[in-house]
Amino acid sequence: MGYILQQSRSTKSQKIDTNLVSKGIKGSLLSNNENRERPANYLIFALIPALCLFLGSNGCVFNPAQLEKESLKILPGSYFLGEPGHQKPDFQLPSSVSLCGQALPLERPSVRERLDAEFLLAVNHPAQVRLWQRRARRFFPTIEAALKASGLPDDLKYLSVAESDLRPSIFSPAGAAGIWQFIPSTARRYGLKVNKREDQRLLPEPVMGAGLRYLSFLNDKFGDWALAMASYNAGEARIGRAMAEQGTADYYQLRLPRETERYVYRIVAIKIVMERPERWGLEDNTPPGLYLPQAYRETTEDFTAPQTWAQLAAKFKCDYKTLRALNPHLANQETLSGGSFVIRSPKSS
């Protein structure tokens, strides 16, 4: 019985195999017919690039060499230094460098090497430098005027670049915010409102004033701008503790958290690149009329009755998006109510 079943199964499998084979033969015949047509098509496409190269730019629209040359035109100058007529920038540090009127001890190899590393990271990131240059057009005039009025070094403006890349609405993982990256406790200490309804760290002018007052305080405390900047980054208590434990008041000899050890070098590198960008092939080519400060006016509004931003935009005769952009400190509120707020609106409205 077992043999009969096995034989019947074997017979069935042979029939199935025969059917599959016949189908396979038909399929292969079809595929062979298709494949006979394909080489001709492929040959045509394969010959196009060769034909273009043979004919040259005048004989064919597609010219790889011309395409590559055209694409290089949109790249920063430092990326096609081998082109005729372009002088290769010398990415070497100046022989002497100062920050806030204090010379860096570049005669120490460790100091020069660390500054060289930060400088190369900055100068070889042309897209980021371009953005610094563009945003600086919007924010540096106000910062420079405030520094001059306060009798503070102009170099402090580069600290804001190191802190935020001049992005006014940026938040750090540690909770710092704004161009000058204040944490809530320090912001409140210097008179800024930081609560669930309002965050003045996101307003460039008030936070700038707080930042400059804090830096002035730190310089008075430590008597050195490098230590003041390090304290701005890591906290005055940590820097004071490190100085006491290590027996030195020289920032460049202190062992600090890695970010703080890089911090002052990064600010100096930004200064070197932005002060003379043409030396590194990074001339400021900010388009005229763009990245200018937004002119605005401030009015104090009493919101006894709730108002939406759309209603305020209609009141100030401006568009919704512009009004929200001018008031980032009130970004968490879709409806304003329960008190008075200073609202910024376009000056032209």
82 inside domain: no
Contact 181, 163 (CB under 8 A): yes
CATH number of the structural domain spanning residue 262 = 1.10.530.10
10 inside domain: no
Name the band, by pLDDT with cuts 50, 70 and 90, for residue 200: very high
Do 211 and 140 belong to one domain?
Answer: yes
Main-chain phi, psi angles of 187, to 5 degrees: -60, -45
CATH number of the structural domain spanning residue 327 = 3.10.350.10
Do 180 and 211 belong to one domain?
Answer: yes
Length of the chain: 349
134 inside domain: yes
Last residue of a domain, one of 253, 280, 307: 280
**How many Å separate Cα 182 from the centre of its chain?**
19
Structure confidence by residue, pLDDT tens digits, 131-188: 999 999 999 999 999 999 999 999 999 999 999 999 999 999 999 999 999 999 999 9
Q: How far is Cα 233 from Cα 262, in angstroms, rounded to an integer?
A: 10
Do 309 and 213 belong to one domain?
Answer: no
Domain containing residue 162 = 98-280
65 inside domain: yes
Q: H-type helices in the chain, by residue range? A: 2-55, 64-72, 109-123, 126-150, 157-164, 184-189, 204-222, 225-234, 236-246, 258-275, 309-316, 320-326
Structure tokens of 291?
A: 């990245």
**Run of H or E residues at 346:** strand 339-346
Do 108 and 185 belong to one domain?
Answer: yes
- Domain count along the chain: 3
Work out the number of other CB atoms within 10 angstroms of the CB of residue 118: 21
Q: How far is Cα 204 from Cα 157, in angstroms, rounded to an integer?
A: 13
Q: What is the pTM of this model?
A: 0.74
Residues paired with residue 345 on neighbouring β-strands, in sequence order: 297
Do 256 and 327 belong to one domain?
Answer: no
Do 34 and 164 belong to one domain?
Answer: no
Last residue of a domain, one of 35, 59, 74: 74
Choose the weakest-confidence range: 55-59, 168-172, 252-256, 333-337.
55-59
Do 111 and 201 belong to one domain?
Answer: yes
Do 61 and 124 belong to one domain?
Answer: no
DSSP string, 152-201: --GGGHHHHHHHHTT-TT-B-TTS-BTTTTB-HHHHHHTT--BSSS-BGG
89 inside domain: no
Contact 177, 171 (CB under 8 A): yes
Q: Average pLDDT for residues 6-28, to the nearest whole number?
A: 44
81 inside domain: no
Structure confidence by residue, pLDDT tens digits, 51-103: 454 444 444 444 544 544 444 444 444 444 334 344 566 689 999 999 999 99
Residues paired with residue 339 on neighbouring β-strands, in sequence order: 303
Do 241 and 340 belong to one domain?
Answer: no
Structure tokens of 17?
A: 């195999």
Q: Average pLDDT for residues 287-296, to the nearest whole number?
A: 92
Do 179 and 225 belong to one domain?
Answer: yes
91 inside domain: no
Q: How far is Cα 262 from Cα 259, in angstroms, rounded to an integer?
A: 5
Do 122 and 214 belong to one domain?
Answer: yes
Indicate if the pLDDT at residue 130 is higher than 70. Answer: yes
